[in-house]
Copies of this chain bind each other. A is one copy, B any other.
Amino acid sequence: MQSIAGREAIIEAARRARAALLPLSRLPAEAKNAALVSVARRMGESSEAILAANAEDLERARPLVEAGEMAESLYRRLKLDDAKLKDIVSGILQVASLEDPVGKVTLATELDEGLRLYRVSCPIGVIGVIFESRPDALTQIASLALKSGNAVLLKGGREAACSNRVLFDIFREASASAGAPQGALALLESREDVEAMLKAESYVDLIIPRGSNALVRYIQQNTAIPVLGHAEGICHIYVDEAADIEKALDITLDSKAQYPSACNSVETLLVHRGIAPAFLPRVLGSLKERGVVARCDGRAFDEFGVTGVERATREDWRTEYCDMIVAIRVVDSIRNAIDHINEFGSHHTDAIITEDEAAFDLFFAGVDSAGVFLNASTRFADGYRYGFGAEVGISTGKLHPRGPVGLDGLMTYKYKLVGEGQTVGLYSGPNARKFSHKKIEL
């Protein structure tokens, strides 16, 4: 049982992580995959130890739940069982089966004879990930990091300390004995460790916080290191005039009630006034049946005779409920819906329900979000569902990476220029050589 603590220890861990980058970047794809397969096997063989450690966490957590200091849902996410362990193992194997993202050439140009430029994908470097109580997040993140050639400093939730330590030890030992460099993976254990990491901008390239809005905002405001993530997930569904009402009902209920605390669940429903008379009574009935509280704007009451629900205020448009509540607003046009989403949303994921392709084209061009969906639940915004194998987080920033962040999102690139002694002087002045800028076919 190893851990690191104290500011100097964290700097030292980050330094070792940085030193691991070069050997890590030179591991061939087969070696990384073999290491992941070996980790998965060891995880499978260690179910007893993992469940025992998890039982310790659960034992400490149970009184908190009973005292009302921990949500029952958090407790359920903390709890591992045979099915979840199977998912952990298959998750690691799935990452092993993905294409190697390192060293991909994404642009190749002959600048001149014997002078060739390539843009080559490479890992970002040392990444600090702060994640919530689910212990399976640890293996997901560590797998993606190893596969993408990034070194990673992990800090899990305090509630899951024992589970995380066991999972971490197994991951590190199994991957190291399969050839992965020492130091590429470190476990932080306290809030002080996190503080030290946030200050280590010379050693850490990126911070990915996964957790409450408050945590993400705190981190954004307390580090000079780039932060990837999202403080809020205020997702919308716009029910267009040309919507299929059955699809609109199914998708609304799924987006809200299937898992209301997820960041990709819907918070506000925008309803075109043309479809409101037909749609509003039905959706309010269905929501009520599923136990969802609806908060409607004034127009729904005044123009469409809605009764028996709460009244929404302007505050509601900016609120991420993470709960069985949905705000509803009637809009005059698709342009109004787009404007509402861009003003009040969080650039996460927004869906339009329509049978009119031109309406979707306009919605897609106008909505400034990482995910813009047609006739599908906002809950599909997820690395696993997108086919990325897993995700380390979801980014609502505008620069790369955006949306669910899988392997591709953990990569950056370098420009490789291969010459034979060329100088810029040759390409300037009266007898300047000309650049050819010919695309090299890959």
Contacts and interface: CB of A to CB of B under 8 A. Distances in A.
A399 B411 CA distance: 8
A360 B416 CA distance: 10
Nearest to A357: B418
A205 B22 CA distance: 34
Select the residue from A373, A376, A419 with max chain B CB neighbours within 10 A. Answer: A376
B374 A417 contact: yes
A124 interface: yes
A375 B419 contact: yes
A402 B398 contact: no
Interface stretch (A164-172, A244-252, A313-321): A244-252
A400 B422 contact: no
B400 A399 contact: yes
A412 B402 contact: yes
Contact of A418 (B365, B376, B417): B376
Contacts of A386: 109, 111, 117, 415
A372 B120 CA distance: 10
A156 interface: no
Given A376-B418, A415-B372, A399 B25 contact: no
B22 A365 contact: yes
Interface string A342-380: 000000000000000000100011101111111111011
B385 A111 contact: yes
A365 to B, nearest CB: 5
A427 interface: yes
Contacts of A13: none
A371 B402 contact: no
A118 to B, nearest CB: 10
A392 to B, nearest CB: 14
Interface residues of A, number: 75
A414 interface: yes
Interface in A63-113: 107, 109, 111
A437 interface: yes
A293 interface: no
B421 A244 contact: yes
Given A22-B338, A417-B371, A417-B374, A251 B435 contact: no
A376 B110 CA distance: 14
Select the residue from A107, A120, A251, A418 with max chain B CB neighbours within 10 A. Answer: A418
Q: Tell me the number of copies of this protein.
A: 2
Interface string A381-402: 1000111000000000111111
Contacts of A115: 376, 380
A213 interface: no
A398 B125 contact: yes
Select the residue from A228, A258, A368, A408 with max chain B CB neighbours within 10 A. Answer: A368
Contacts of A416: 364, 372-374
A416 B418 CA distance: 37
A115 B372 CA distance: 13
Interface of A: 21-22, 25-26, 107, 109, 111, 115, 117, 120, 122, 124-125, 205-206, 226, 228, 244, 246-247, 250-251, 253-255, 258-259, 338, 360, 364-366, 368-377, 379-381, 385-387, 397-404, 408, 412-425, 427-428, 435, 437
28 contacts: A22-B338, A107-B408, A111-B380, A111-B387, A115-B380, A124-B398, A125-B368, A125-B398, A206-B398, A244-B421, A247-B421, A251-B421, A254-B425, A258-B423, A259-B424, A364-B416, A374-B417, A375-B420, A376-B417, A376-B421, A377-B424, A377-B425, A379-B423, A385-B427, A387-B437, A399-B399, A400-B401, A402-B414
Given A374-B416, A402-B413, 5 more contacts: A22-B366, A228-B399, A380-B419, A399-B400, A402-B415
